[in-house]
Amino acid sequence: MFDYSMQDRAIRIIEEGARRALSPRAFIAREIQSFKSSPTYSQMLAGDDYYTGKHDILKKVRTAIGNDGNLIEIDNLPNSQIVDNQYKKAVKQKVNYLVGKPLTVRSDDENYSVALQNFFNRKFHKSLKAITKDSLNCGLGWLYIYYNEHGEFSYKRFRPWEIIPGWKDADHTELDYVIRVYDVIHYNGSTEETLTKVEWYTVEGVDYYEYTNGAVVPCEPWHSDYMNINGNGFNWERLPFVAFKYSEEELPLLTCCKSLQDGLNQILSNFEDTMLEDQRNTILVLVNYDGENLGEFRQNLATYGAVKVRSMDGAKGGVDTLSVEVNADNYKAIADIFRKAIIENCMAYDAKDERMSGTPNQMNIQSMYNDIEMDARDMETEFQASLEDLTWFIDAHLKNTNQGDYFNTGVDYIFDTDMPMDESTTIDNIQKSVGIISTETLISQHPWVTNVESELSKLSEEEENKVDQYSTIIPNPIE
């Protein structure tokens, strides 16, 4: 059995040796160069590009075999570049399925629950949706915890391709350092320049640099602490970064379907090219004219739709035609195959599935949503660990500001996955469970309830009003 503790120790020894052998600036420069030339960086950029519609098909050109037998670009033919962005659809389905609705935060300590609601508000929900999209497009998303200029506990999202994490362990659960690299626009007089900023995060605080010509140069201010209270600097015991991973492997969703998405774009673009070349549906055959070599034949056929041949029996020249039929059903069949394959490989769902026709029952709905539900459960496992890390910083803030010590208090984060349901069947099952399951549990499962605590409070008020009305109608007997 492989000893992972030995692997972790070896990684730390190698990294520590590298850092000792190099100055901090040289080490940071090397890490930046290594990261930007890595497949991980390329995959992150590709995932974001494909989500925003920047697909490889946009680089498509029309070519033909030239006189020398090599491919040459032809610019006088239709060159359709169609993007049918099924990948973006799959990402949005997953994001809205898992975090389309706000998290439900519960704790046995009522004061703790109330305190947490101040952090997990609508602003956090918006950030969580953006980070979930990052985790799907880039393999993982990043949340940074900090204190703003007003001294308030805050958080912000960092783009994944800006972050170079230094992990302490092979499972990527604890950070040793973080390097952030990002570009800013700077004006030197009236000249616009792009500066590459570098931030080096450790438990001692943040160091600031600029990255120029492969070298890291300090800039002002060159260092700051994470917190400043009454003029004194303080730092977290942990690095204030929380990673939200799509999967344990930290691979983007695009790795599952890029070739399929490219194939779909290609077949649709080729079909439109063919439709735009109506005049090429008939190929002219010139009989008893000058012959031509193979290169000229292929180039003229692709460019002009006409070929010249020499008669073998000496007959006089003429023009014959060859008809070319385009079968649209073939293109449609292949495009449908690609779309279904993208849905299956991305573990998404087809909202136009035939199982949803008519009045689908709950079994049909669950069958259609099985793949996305299974993938969402894996994501939820990763996100629960991330929320646990985030909770540590919240607990530290509450303790440091004398709002309570909740480090050993349990808290549950419940994801309200957005699966359609047969409401009538669900409500009927809830009614049949009265007296068997607690009222709170039954209310939490009701399809019309969005806030369990609020609904319980309303029920309690209604019961109290009924008692008051009953007391008014039937006064207490005279003793």
Tokens 């309200």 sit on residue: 416
pLDDT at 170 over 60: yes
CA separation for the pair 467, 479 (Å, rounded):
21
pLDDT at 122 over 50: yes
pLDDT at 2 over 50: no
Q: Which two tokens stand for residue 83?
A: 């993007």
* Dihedral (CA of 133, 137, 141, 147) sign: negative
Read off the pLDDT band of 352 (50, 70, 90).
confident
Q: Which two tokens stand for residue 22?
A: 């190099």
356: exposed, middle or buried (Cβ count in 10 Å: 0-12, 13-18, 19+): middle
CA separation for the pair 402, 408 (Å, rounded):
16
185: exposed, middle or buried (Cβ count in 10 Å: 0-12, 13-18, 19+): exposed
The pLDDT value given to residue 390: 96
* Dihedral (CA of 375, 381, 382, 388) sign: positive
pLDDT at 144 over 80: yes
Q: What share of the chain is helix, strand, coil (3-state, %, to 5)?
A: 45, 20, 30
Task: Give the mean model confidence (pLDDT) for residues 85-101.
Answer: 95
Q: Pick the closest to residue 75 from 58, 88, 63 (CA basis).
A: 63
357-405 confidence digits (pLDDT tens): 555 666 667 777 889 999 999 999 999 999 999 999 999 999 999 999 9
Q: Which two tokens stand for residue 455?
A: 């609904």
> Which DSSP string corresponds to 338-406?
HHHHHHHHTT---TT-GGGSSS--HHHHHHHTHHHHHHHHHHHHHHHHHHHHHHHHHHHHHHHTTS---
The pLDDT value given to residue 190: 80
Task: Give the mean model confidence (pLDDT) for residues 223-243.
Answer: 89
469 or 378, which is more confident: 378
Contact of 142 with 131, CB cutoff 8 Å = yes
Q: Pick the closest to residue 340 from 374, 376, 364, 371 (CA basis).
A: 371
The pLDDT value given to residue 149: 85
The pLDDT value given to residue 359: 59
417 or 217, which is more confident: 217
Instruction: Provide the β-strand partners of residue 243.
Output: 142
- Of the listed ranges 51-55, 222-226, 313-317, 460-464, the one predicted with least confidence: 313-317
pLDDT at 17 over 60: no
- Of the listed ranges 23-27, 107-111, 302-306, the one predicted with least confidence: 302-306
Average pLDDT across the chain, whole number: 84
pLDDT at 222 over 90: no
The pLDDT value given to residue 1: 41
The pLDDT value given to residue 129: 96
Q: Which two tokens stand for residue 113?
A: 């629950």
Task: Give the mean model confidence (pLDDT) for residues 95-114.
Answer: 91
The pLDDT value given to residue 316: 63
pTM beyond cutoff 0.85: no
Residue 35 CB contacts under 8 Å (≥ 6 apart), including other chains: 41, 164, 179, 181
CA 383 to chain CA mean position, Å: 13
268-299 confidence digits (pLDDT tens): 999 998 888 765 556 666 666 555 565 666 66
Read off the pLDDT band of 4 (50, 70, 90).
very low
pLDDT at 221 over 80: no
pLDDT at 216 over 70: yes
Helices (H) and strands (E) in the chain — how many of each?
14, 17
% of the chain surpassing 70 pLDDT: 79
pLDDT at 319 over 90: no
Q: Which range has highest mean pLDDT (232-236, 340-344, 428-432)?
A: 340-344
Q: Which two tokens stand for residue 341?
A: 């394959």
